[in-house]
Amino acid sequence: MINMTILLNGVSYTVDLSTATDISLGIKREGNVNAYYLDEPTFEPFRAEGFTGSIAEGGSVNCEKLTFYPHGNGTHTECVRHIANLDCNMLSMHPDPFLLAEVVSVNPHLTAKQDFAITLESLEHIELHAGVQALVVRTMPNDTGKPEAGYSGKNPVYFEPSAILWMKERHIKHLLTDLPSVDPEIDGGQMLAHREFFHYPKDPDLKATITELIYVPDSINDGTYLLNLQTPSIETDAVPSRPLLFKMS
């Protein structure tokens, strides 16, 4: 047990740092989650005359070129640049190292379009802990096949804008979901849920983030946690990410 005391929003919490649960889906050589018909990741050794970046092929070191799509190959965190040509990107994003987060399990509802979405009805029974900045949404049922699911062409569950507005009214700055997107797979480019969350174009929130394709195991109960949202500094709209949840008391 490694305990740390942290002060968030004027409240002191004790955090056991040995309880970290990684809720990310990493980018693997095979068996990845996939969405939007995006190509699978590739891992290719660097090759030059007289040199190969593969020890298995006789090289002195491993040196690989990785090709992947953050939006469809694993857990990723995105900023408003995903839907807007604004002067911000994940290189300039610096989420607080520790965020107060609420894990909630929600049931999708049948919509007027005869598909399924996270609606206002899915969320309105939930009471958030005071000062929560991040919402971690686990959709039910929590199928153990989610980490390797193929979502392309299956019109997966999404968020209705009214559900996003519910979050923003409660000052949620960071949304994490196990869905491939907060918007429908095909929506004619409207991106209404993204626009609602990033408050674009009226007053774009350059500090907000959406993290998609996480997986919250059943061992994590609904409740309040400390979140460490790890993102690499890359000058683009979305990057692979590694959110960690810590138990608190």
Give tens-digit pLDDT for 75-103. Answer: 999 999 999 999 999 999 888 899 999 99
Give the whole-angstrom CA distance, residue 103 versus residue 129.
10
Asked if the model's pLDDT at residue 160 lies above 90, the reply is yes
C-alpha distances out from residue 131 to 118, 185, 224, 237, Å: 23, 32, 10, 27
Q: Is the pLDDT of residue 58 over 90?
A: yes
Separation CA 185–CA 192 (nearest Å): 12
The pLDDT of residue 1 = 78
Three-class SS state of 73: helix
Reply yes or no: is the peptide bond before residue 201 cis, omega within 30 of 0. Answer: yes
Residue 53 contacts residue 61 (beta carbons within 8 Å): yes
Q: Give first-to-last CA distance, the chain, whole Å.
A: 13
Residue 154 has pLDDT above 90, yes or no: yes
Residue 201's Cβ-count burial label (10 Å; 0-12, 13-18, 19+) is exposed
Determine the average pLDDT of the residues in 231-245. 97
- pLDDT tens for 104-128 read 999 999 999 999 999 999 999 999 9
Amino acid in position 170: R
CA distances from 158 to 2, 102, 107, 180 (A): 38, 19, 11, 8
Q: What is the CATH number of domain 3-28+74-246?
A: 3.50.30.50
* Alpha carbon of residue 29 to chain centroid: 20
Reported pTM:
0.97
Q: Compute and round to an integer the Cα radius of gyration of the chain.
A: 19
